Amino acid sequence: MAFTVEERGRPNTQDYRVFFKNSEGKYISPFHDIPIYANEAQDIFHAVVEVPRWTNAKMEIATKDPLNPLKQDVKKGNLRYVANVFPHKGYIWNYGAIPQTWEDPNHKDSDTGCCGDNDPIDICDIGNKVCSRGDVIKVKVLGTLALIDEGETDWKVIVINTEDPEAASFNNIDDVRQLKPGYLEATVDWFKRYKVPDGKPENQFAFNGEFKNRDFAIKTVKSTHEFWKSLMSMKTNAGELNCMNTTVSDSPFCCSATDADTVVESVIDKWFYYEN
């Protein structure tokens, strides 16, 4: 299953968008239309890369926009860039999300005691390849960290790209600790302090900042998939989320390819219309 992206607007502006297409060249939502599973029997998941390793622009799936393209987060009217927190440069993994998942803000997690953050579940790909923005990769889940971000549960699932030459050696969180010493400690340090330069306090963690293992992580991912199913069937109130999709046929939010084309064409392409 192949996916491609189409950029609209100019990077590092508030108009910039990255739309997704399926193998037939039709526009889709990376939130709702890319299947969660690349191989369900083996618990291999798809992941959408929002922020390539070593970069700083806080790109994310636009959950409130039609077709949910990638766009850069904006805070107080300004484009958001993550600070370099010594000794790190930008994001220290390929950072993204697993499609067809949703951390329900109305559900209090029994383990963390906090509600979800209203986003698809996040991933940190520890593979060697530096991915590109909008890449859709197949990943093996290794474990998870439970970040408590401003009072909300924000799972960070540690994964490795199945195409990584070393992927076969990584099957659980302890393999990361052994084969990439210091990486997990750096991950906790990064998430703890990355908002401090913006004047915010250090983030907190459930489980005293300990990583949970593969089985726990897979169970967590699958639970967020169930929350997403309720969202798409209107069993749960979507609030401001945009659930427009082209493939979830039993969802009341499913639209035609023509409707999807209209959404994309309504985004004015300013790529060639800016002044230096």
What's the pTM?
0.95
Burial per residue of 227-245, b for 16 or more beta-carbon CB atoms within 10 angstroms, e otherwise? bbbbbbeeebebeebbbbb
User: For 37-70, how does the pLDDT look when each residue is reduced to its tens digit (9 = 90+)?
Assistant: 999 999 999 999 999 999 999 999 999 999 999 9
Model confidence pLDDT, tens digit, residues 126-145 = 999 999 999 999 999 999 99
Phi, psi for 28 (deg, rounded to 5)? -140, 170
Predicted pLDDT of residue 275 = 42
Token pair belonging to 197: 């330069």
pLDDT of 269 over the 70 cut: no
Contacts of 102 (CB under 8 A, 6+ apart): 116, 118, 119, 120, 121, 224, 227, 228, 231
d(C-alpha 156, C-alpha 201), whole Å: 19
pLDDT at 268: 57
11-42 confidence digits (pLDDT tens):
999 999 999 999 999 999 999 999 999 999 99
